[in-house]
Chains A and B, each alone.
Chain A
Amino acid sequence: MLDTTTPMLQVSHVVQSYRKGDNNRILVLDDVSISLKEGEIVGLLGRSGSGKSSLLRIISGLNEPFGGEVTWYGKKVEGPEKGISMVFQTFALFPWLTVRQNVEIGLEAMGVDATERRKRAEQAIDLIGLGGFETAYPKELSGGMRQRVGFARALVVHPKLMLMDEPFSALDVLTAETLRTDIIDLWMEGALPIKSILIVTHNIEEAVLMCDRVLIFTSNPGRVGFEMPINLPHPRDRQAPEFRELVEEIYARMTNREGPGAPLHHDALHHAEVTLTTHLTPISTNILAGLLEELADPPYNGKADLPELADSLHLPADELFPVAEALAMLRFADVMGGDILITDAGRQFVNLDVEPRKKLFAKHVLANIPLASHIRKVLDERSGHKAPWSRFADELEDHMSEDFAEDCLRAVVNWGRYGEVFVYDEKTRQFSLEDKD
Chain B
Amino acid sequence: MLFQPAGSRNAPASVRPRYFSAFDLFAFAVVFGLLAMFTHGTDQALIPISEMEQVPISLDPTSLPEYALRTTLRMLAAIVASLIFTFIYGAIAAKSRRAEMVLIPILDILQSVPVLGFLSFTVLFFMGLFPGQVLGVEFAAVFAIFTSQAWNMTFSFYQSLKTLPRDLEEVSTSFRLTGWQRFWRLEVPFSMPGLVWNTMMSMSGGWFFVVASEAITVGSTTITLPGIGAYVATAIDARNLTAVAWSVFAMLIIILIYDQLLFRPLVAWAEKFRFEQSAGGPPPKSWVLDLIKRAHFFQLVLSPLGYVARALGRMPLSMPVPVPKGVGAAWSSRTMDRIWMVLIVAACLYSIWLIVRFVASEVALPEVFHVLWMGFLTLIRVAVLIFLASLVWVPIGVWIGLRPKVATAVQPFAQFLAAFPANIIFPFAVVGIVHFKLDPNIWLSPLMILGTQWYILFNVIAGASAFPTDMREAASAFHIRGWHWWTKVILPGVFPYYVTGALTASGGSWNAAIVAEVASWGDTTLRADGLGAYIADATTAGDYPRITLGIAVMSLYVIAFNRTLWRPMFSFAARRLRLD
Would you call A105 and B177 a contact (CB within 8 A)?
yes
Instruction: Given A60-B174, A135-B10, A139-B279, check contact A94 B168 (CB 8 Å).
Output: yes
B296 within 8 A of A: no
A186 within 8 A of B: no
Which residues of B have CB within 8 Å of A133?
Answer: 2-3
Instruction: Given A86-B174, A94-B185, check contact A132 B279 (CB 8 Å).
Output: no
A395 within 8 A of B: no
B177 nearest CB across to chain A (Å): 5
**In the bound complex, how far is the Cα of B192 from the Cα of A89, in angstroms?**
25
Which residues of B have CB within 8 Å of A132?
Answer: 1-3
Which residues of A have CB within 8 Å of B278?
Answer: 139
Instruction: Given A108-B314, A133-B3, A135-B10, check contact A88 B277 (CB 8 Å).
Output: no
Contact of A80 among B3, B8, B167, B175 (CB under 8 A): B175
Would you call A95 and B275 a contact (CB within 8 A)?
yes
Q: Which residue of A lies closest to B5 (CB)?
A: A136
Which residues of A have CB within 8 Å of B40?
Answer: none
B132 within 8 A of A: no
Would you call B170 and A62 a contact (CB within 8 A)?
yes
Do most interface residues of chain B lie in helix, strand or loop, or is the interface mixed? Answer: loop
Would you call B167 and A88 a contact (CB within 8 A)?
yes
Would you call B176 and A109 a contact (CB within 8 A)?
yes
Would you call B277 and A139 a contact (CB within 8 A)?
yes
A299 within 8 A of B: no
Q: Which residue of A lies closest to B6 (CB)?
A: A140
Binary CB contact string for chain A from 129 to 147 against chain B (1 if under 8 A, 0 otherwise): 0001101111110000010
Instruction: Given A94-B189, A133-B2, A140-B3, check contact A85 B174 (CB 8 Å).
Output: yes
Would you call B1 and A135 a contact (CB within 8 A)?
no
Which residues of B have CB within 8 Å of A315?
Answer: none
B313 nearest CB across to chain A (Å): 9
Which residues of B have CB within 8 Å of A427?
Answer: 576
Q: Which residue of B lies closest to A156 (CB)?
A: B175
A30 nearest CB across to chain B (Å): 24
**In the bound complex, how far is the Cα of B10 from the Cα of A85, in angstroms?**
32
A34 within 8 A of B: no
Q: Which of B3, B165, B186 has the most CB of A within 10 A?
A: B3
A119 within 8 A of B: no
**In the bound complex, how far is the Cα of B168 from the Cα of A129, in angstroms?**
23
Q: Which residue of A lies closest to B178 (CB)?
A: A109
Would you call A135 and B8 a contact (CB within 8 A)?
yes
Instruction: Given A62-B174, A109-B175, check contact A96 B272 (CB 8 Å).
Output: yes
Instruction: Given A94-B168, A135-B10, check contact A110 B176 (CB 8 Å).
Output: yes
Q: Which of B168, B174, B275, B278 has the most CB of A within 10 A?
A: B174
A61 within 8 A of B: yes
Would you call A95 and B274 a contact (CB within 8 A)?
yes
Which residues of B have CB within 8 Å of A96?
Answer: 189, 192, 272-273
A-B contact pairs, 11 of them (CB 8 A): A80-B173, A86-B171, A88-B167, A92-B165, A92-B170, A95-B275, A96-B192, A96-B272, A105-B175, A108-B316, A136-B5
Query: A91-B167, A109-B316 known; 19 other A-B pairs, CB under 8 Å?
Result: A57-B170, A62-B174, A80-B174, A85-B175, A88-B170, A88-B171, A92-B168, A95-B274, A105-B175, A106-B176, A108-B177, A109-B175, A109-B177, A111-B316, A135-B10, A139-B279, A140-B5, A146-B277, A157-B175
